Structure 1
Amino acid sequence: MKTDLEIKQDVLEQIEWQNKLDKTQIGVIVNDGIVTLTGLVFSYAIKLEVIDAVKKVAGVKAIAEEIKVGYISTLNKTDTEIANTAIKMIEWNASVPNNKVIVEVENGFITLSGTLEHAFQRDAAKRTVEYLTGVKGVTNNITLQQIIEPKDVQEKINRAFVRSAVIDALNITVEVTNNTVKLTGKVHSISEKEEAQKVAFNAPGVYEVQNEIEIVH
């Protein structure tokens, strides 16, 4: 089992390796496997990359994210400019149906709302705007109204787990009640836990995923 000090060192090295950042830019505190991140970065995209790097470190149970985004003056955009760009990018994304997503921007923070049929469409809309210049954060309030009735959902999810190169299917149990999927079991990283949830959400007819998978060292 890793100590908190070992996890901290691995986190700092992973951030430096994956993001080519000077690890002194990011503050890392680890307490019982829970990682708190602090510091200042110059784009929301970098912030997301740092968080993604930490999720890949074995032994990290949870992340408390307190990283601030501060754009340099030449990269600042007005809320109107951000909104216009976000709308165009969503319209150009073939995975997102036209005229279904509402974009609101306040002080550089984007809120997405509307109703879509599938989880992958909702995720695609969020990913489309996360890396736009001037964006400080994204809240995804898009709801799902799937028209496909879930049949054999448990079997479909289990088969998807088996196909995955990231997920250890033998260590995860899938339970399905109506349109809700409950995941239990044990994995070794936040990335694996989140990948399991993502796979379950992509199954037809799934509205909610209760992810109770434990992370073990």
Structure 2
Amino acid sequence: MKTDSQLQQDVSAELTWEPSVHAARIGVEVKDRVVTLAGQVDSYAEKWSAESAALRVAGVKAMSTELKVHLTSLSKRTDTDIAAAVDNVLEWSSLLPAGGLKVMVEGGWVTLSGDVDWQFQKQAAADSIRFLMGVVGVSNQISIMPSLSATLVKSDIEAALKRAALADAKKISVVVRGADVTLSGTVHSWAERETATSSAWATPGVISVVDKMTLAT
């Protein structure tokens, strides 16, 4: 198992390797395999890229972010302009239901609400506005409306885990109550953890996924 010092070096190296991040302005601290990122970035997209880069590093247990988005004068937009841009992007997305989402912008922070049928649609909505100029953060409050009986969810998720070829798919426990899924067990990396939760979210009818999985030491 990596020491905190080794993890700190690896996360710093991953940030330096990521071309969309100004690594020199981001501080990295690690305690008990929990990574804290601090510093200043020029956009919400850069903040997201830094967080994603840190989570890619093997051995990272969890992450806390204290990164602040400080827009340059050329990047600033009024909330009205940002809201109009978000509306246009969502309207032009073929993945999202027409007119099914609501947008609120305050101080550059975008809040999305409304209903969709699938988790990938909820994620696509947030992904589509991440790189818009002037956005400093996104709160994704979109709800997923179940479309299938929850009795089929457990077997569908277990089959998806096998298709994903996880090393120890049988060691991941799937508990379904209504349309809520709880995953527990042990995985060997953050990538395996992400694969397991993504498989659960990709199952029709799932409206929430609780991740109780632990990383193998």
Q: Which residue matches 1:45?
A: 45
Separation in 2 of the partners of 1:95 and 1:13?
35
CA contact (8 A) 1:200 1:206 kept: yes
Separation in 2 of the partners of 1:72 and 1:21?
15
Q: Which residue matches 1:5?
A: 5
Separation in 1 of the partners of 2:181 and 2:8?
33
Q: Which residue matches 2:201?
A: 201
CA contact (8 A) 1:37 1:65 kept: yes
Q: Is the alpha carbon distance of 1:129 and 1:173 closer, same or farther for their aligned partners in structure 2, counting shifts above 3 Å?
A: same
Q: Aligned letter for 2:80?
A: T
Number of matched pairs: 217
Query: Does residue 1:95 correspond to 2:95, yes or no?
Result: yes
Separation in 1 of the partners of 2:20 and 2:113?
34
Query: Does residue 1:149 correspond to 2:149, yes or no?
Result: yes
Per the alignment, in what secondary structure is the counterpart of residue 90 of structure 1? helix
Q: Is the deviation greater in 43-52 or in 171-180?
A: 171-180
| 1:107-127 deviation per Cα after TM superposition (whole angstroms, max 9, x unaligned) | 110000112222111111111
Per the alignment, in what secondary structure is the counterpart of residue 59 of structure 2? coil
* CA deviation after TM superposition for structure 1 residue 165, in Å: 5.8
- TM-score between the two structures when normalised by the length of structure 1: 0.93
Q: Is the alpha carbon distance of 1:122 and 1:9 closer, same or farther for their aligned partners in structure 2, counting shifts above 3 Å?
A: same
* CA deviation after TM superposition for structure 1 residue 148, in Å: 2.2
Per the alignment, in what secondary structure is the counterpart of residue 75 of structure 1? coil
Q: Sequence identity of aligned pairs in percent?
A: 39
Q: Is the alpha carbon distance of 1:105 and 1:52 closer, same or farther for their aligned partners in structure 2, counting shifts above 3 Å?
A: same
User: 5 Å matches for 1:1-217?
Assistant: 1-19=1-19, 21-164=21-164, 168-217=168-217
Which ranges in structure 2 are unaligned for 5 or more consecutive residues?
none
* CA deviation after TM superposition for structure 1 residue 20, in Å: 5.6
Separation in 1 of the partners of 2:31 and 2:209?
28
Q: Is the alpha carbon distance of 1:38 and 1:104 closer, same or farther for their aligned partners in structure 2, counting shifts above 3 Å?
A: same
* CA deviation after TM superposition for structure 1 residue 95, in Å: 0.9
* CA deviation after TM superposition for structure 1 residue 151, in Å: 4.2
Separation in 2 of the partners of 1:106 and 1:189?
37
Separation in 2 of the partners of 1:43 and 1:167?
37
Q: Is the deviation greater in 6-15 or in 115-124?
A: 115-124
CA contact (8 A) 1:28 1:35 kept: yes
